Amino acid sequence: MYIFIAITYYKELSLQDLKHFMTIEPAIDGLLFRTPMSTLALQRFITRLIAVGFPKDKIMIHSNLNLLKALNLQCIHFKENDKRAFLIKQQYPELIVGMSTHNIEMVKQCHAYQLDYVFFGHIFSTSSHPGEPPRTNQEIHDVLKIDMPIYAIGGISPSTISQLPTGFDGLCAISFFMTSTVSDINSLKRKWHSHA
């Protein structure tokens, strides 16, 4: 199974965003909430999203264990080098814990601490990392030898999907998922399946 994970824009989320998330929900496998919102404001937003039918098992919280517990969710994600991920996985082995990574050493560390998955990138040039070169083909090749779920991130779109090295367990993106329709996402899925 290949996983498609949408990541929110880093902003205060609105009713328009809630409607968009509900619209794309059938075509995605996860929605990672990474926002500057207060814990209370984000809790209210996600509670409302769940109330209108968004599946709880698709919701991923960025680095806020208290919010995860308050909403009785299962998946938490951390930025690279945030050691809390390793502690939380030890304390709460039942949780799904992941981390963003940019080098093989970090991926190996996540594997050693038995995290459930990693994001690895950026794979293509992206506005999120201006002026930073993408990972090399050799870096990607070496990382994909590690036995854990690895999701590609960074500059992934319909125009780049055919250049994505094979072997990733899925992909994640901000801009593509936040601006696309279900039809756009399903089209990307078809391209992914024929490529992967």
- Domain residue extents for the chain: 3-195
Integer CA distances (angstroms), 20 to 11, 24, 35, 61, in order: 15, 6, 16, 18
Q: What is the pLDDT of residue 126?
A: 76
For residues 70 and 133, which has the higher predicted lDDT (pLDDT)? 70
Q: What is the pLDDT of residues 143-193, one digit of tens each?
A: 999 999 999 999 999 999 999 999 999 999 999 999 999 999 999 999 988
Cα distance between residue 82 and residue 99, in whole Å: 8
H-assigned helices in the chain: 15-24, 39-51, 65-70, 84-91, 104-112, 137-143, 175-179, 182-195
Cα distance between residue 90 and residue 15, in whole Å: 37
The pTM of this model reads 0.95
Task: Give the pLDDT mean for 2-8.
Answer: 93
Cα distance between residue 92 and residue 88, in whole Å: 6
CATH class of 3-195: alpha beta
Side chain identity, residue 187? S
In the predicted model, is pLDDT for residue 7 greater than 70?
yes
